[in-house]
C-alpha cells in the first residue's frame, strides 16, 4: 500500500477518513482518545501543505436525517482547541463541492447522515471522490466495513493511500500474528462463543495458552458441569468441544455467583462443580484469578479482548480488575482491543501501562481472524500506480 508520508500533497485536496466516533454526553466529549490518536495524521497533512477534508461517522443515526445527537460539531469544537493556530471550518452541506484553501481544514458532518453511506452506495462514493485529489484511509475501526466513505470512494479516486494510524495498527497486529514472542498468552472474555468462534479458532493456531472468562467461559464450563441460569450456549457444545480439544484453553475453576442479576446482588465464591440451578456466574473466582495471574506472568506476548465478568457491577468487578492489572503490570508486550476492553482500561486508569491499545473493536477481531480487512485489500490496488 502507498503510505501517506511518501506522496506529494502540496495544494492537493486530501480526503482523510478518520475514526472520530467518540462518546458524547450532553454535547460534551467524554473520551477524546480516538481524536487524539488522529491528530498526528492531521499534522502530517498540514506539514505537507494539503487542503484537508476530514470525514468520520458518529454513532448509528438514521440515514438521510440530521440528528443533533449524532453531529460532529462537538468534535469540531475540540479540534479548534487542540489546533488553535489552524483555520478549521465545519461543513454540513458538502456533497456538491466545497471551497478549501491550502493548510485549511474542513471537518465534514457525520457521513452517516448521507443516504447510502453504510450500503456503499456508488453515487455517494463518487460524490466523495469528486471532493478530492487524494484519499487517505486512516480509520482502523471502520476498515472492516464496506461503506461509501471507506471502500467505495477507492473506485473513483486516482490516488488512495494508508494513513499513519492505520499503518501502525496493522504493523503491530501482524507482528503478533506472524512472529509473537513466546510464550504467548491470550485472554478472551465476552458473552458468546458463537460470535467469536472464528476468532478463537484463529488464535488457537498461534497462542500457547488461552484464558477465558465471561459467558464464553460458561459455555466451556457447561461441557462438564451445570452452570445454573448462567449465560451460556448449550447449542454450541459441539463447536466448543472442538476448540477445547486444542488443549490450550483454560476455563475458571471457581466463580462468583448470585441468584439475581443486579448491581446490588451479593457475590458468593463457589467451585464450578457446586453451582446451583438458581445461581448464575457473574465473575471468575479467587483461585482462578491466582492461576490466571501466574500464567500471565510467564508471558512474553499478551493479547487481550474482553472482561472476565460483569465488571459494571462493583461486586463482580474483582476478576476483571485483577486480570487487567496483571496484564498492565507485566513487562510483556501487551495488545488490547474492543469496546469493553477499552472501557475496563479507562475504568482502572491503565492506559499508560498497556503496550498498545487498538482503536478498533470489530476491525480488531476481524483482522485477527482473517489477517486482513476489506479496505486494506482495496488499498493494495493502488500500490503500483
5, 80, 82, 192: the catalytic one is 192
The answer for residues whose C-beta is within 8 angstroms of residue 308's C-beta and 6 or more apart is: 189, 213, 214, 217, 283, 284, 319, 320, 323
- Write the DSSP string, 26-87: TTEES--HHHHHHHHHHHHHHHTT-EEEEE---S-PPTTS--GGG-SHHHHHHHHHHSTTSE
Looking up cell 464496506 gives 146
Q: 231 near 218, Cβ under 8 Å?
A: yes
Comparing C-alpha atoms, which of 232, 309, 302 is closest to residue 267? 309
Rounded distance between C-alpha atoms, residue 203 and residue 245, angstroms: 14
228 is annotated as an active-site residue: no
Looking up cell 487498538 gives 358
60 is annotated as an active-site residue: no
163 is annotated as an active-site residue: no
CA 308 to chain centre: 18
Alpha helices in the chain (DSSP H): 33-47, 73-82, 122-130, 164-178, 197-206, 214-221, 237-244, 286-296, 318-329, 339-347, 362-370, 374-379
The answer for residues whose C-beta is within 8 angstroms of residue 195's C-beta and 6 or more apart is: none
Q: Which cell numbers in the block locate residue 195? A: 460470535
17, 34, 127, 145: the catalytic one is 34
Q: Is 338 left (phi over 0), alpha (psi -120 to 50) or beta?
A: left
Neighbour tally for 135: CB within 10 Å = 26
Rounded distance between C-alpha atoms, residue 276 and residue 228, angstroms: 5
5, 248, 362, 371: the catalytic one is 362
Q: 51 near 13, Cβ under 8 Å?
A: yes
97, 171, 181, 339: the catalytic one is 339
214 is annotated as an active-site residue: no
Tell me which residues are annotated as active site.
34, 192, 339, 362
Amino acid at each position: 500500500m502507498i503510505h501517506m508520508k511518501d506522496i506529494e500533497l502540496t495544494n492537493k485536496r486530501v480526503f482523510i477518513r478518520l475514526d472520530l466516533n467518540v462518546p458524547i454526553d450532553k454535547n460534551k466529549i467524554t473520551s477524546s482518545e480516538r481524536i487524539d490518536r488522529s491528530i498526528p495524521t492531521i499534522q502530517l497533512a498540514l506539514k505537507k501543505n494539503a487542503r484537508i477534508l476530514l470525514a468520520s461517522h458518529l454513532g448509528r443515526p438514521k440515514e438521510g436525517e440530521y440528528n443533533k445527537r449524532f453531529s460532529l460539531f462537538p468534535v469540531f469544537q475540540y479540534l479548534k482547541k487542540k489546533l488553535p493556530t489552524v483555520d478549521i471550518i465545519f461543513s454540513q452541506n458538502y456533497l456538491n463541492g466545497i471551497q478549501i484553501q491550502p493548510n485549511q481544514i474542513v471537518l465534514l458532518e457525520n457521513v452517516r447522515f448521507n443516504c447510502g453511506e453504510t450500503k456503499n452506495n456508488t453515487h455517494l462514493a463518487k460524490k466523495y471522490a469528486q471532493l478530492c485529489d487524494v484519499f487517505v484511509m486512516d480509520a482502523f475501526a471502520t476498515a472492516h466495513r464496506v461503506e461509501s466513505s471507506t471502500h467505495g470512494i477507492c473506485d473513483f479516486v486516482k490516488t488512495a493511500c494508508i494513513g499513519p494510524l492505520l499503518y501502525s495498527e496493522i504493523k503491530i497486529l501482524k507482528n503478533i500474528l506472524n512472529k509473537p514472542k513466546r510464550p504467548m498468552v491470550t485472554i478472551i472474555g465476552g458473552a458468546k462463543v458463537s460470535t467469536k468462534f472464528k476468532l478463537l479458532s484463529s488464535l488457537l493456531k498461534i497462542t500457547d495458552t488461552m484464558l477465558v472468562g465471561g459467558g464464553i467461559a460458561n459455555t466451556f464450563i457447561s461441557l462438564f458441569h451445570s452452570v445454573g441460569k448462567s449465560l451460556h450456549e448449550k447449542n454450541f457444545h459441539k463447536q466448543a468441544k472442538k476448540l477445547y480439544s486444542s488443549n490450550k484453553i483454560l476455563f475458571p475453576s471457581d466463580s462468583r455467583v448470585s441468584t439475581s442479576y443486579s448491581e446490588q446482588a451479593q457475590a458468593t465464591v463457589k467451585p464450578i462443580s457446586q453451582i446451583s440451578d438458581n445461581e448464575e456466574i457473574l465473575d471468575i473466582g479467587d483461585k482462578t484469578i491466582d492461576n490466571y495471574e501466574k500464567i500471565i506472568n510467564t508471558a512474553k506476548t499478551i493479547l487481550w479482548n474482553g472482561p472476565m465478568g460483569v465488571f459494571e457491577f462493583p461486586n463482580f468487578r474483582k476478576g476483571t480488575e485483577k486480570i487487567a492489572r496483571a496484564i498492565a503490570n507485566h513487562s510483556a508486550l501487551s495488545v488490547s482491543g474492543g469496546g469493553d476492553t477499552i472501557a475496563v482500561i479507562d475504568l482502572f486508569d491503565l492506559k499508560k501501562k498497556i503496550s498498545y491499545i487498538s482503536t478498533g473493536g470489530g476491525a480488531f477481531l476481524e483482522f485477527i481472524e482473517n489477517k486482513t480487512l476489506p479496505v486494506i485489500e482495496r488499498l493494495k490496488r493502488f500500490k503500483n500506480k
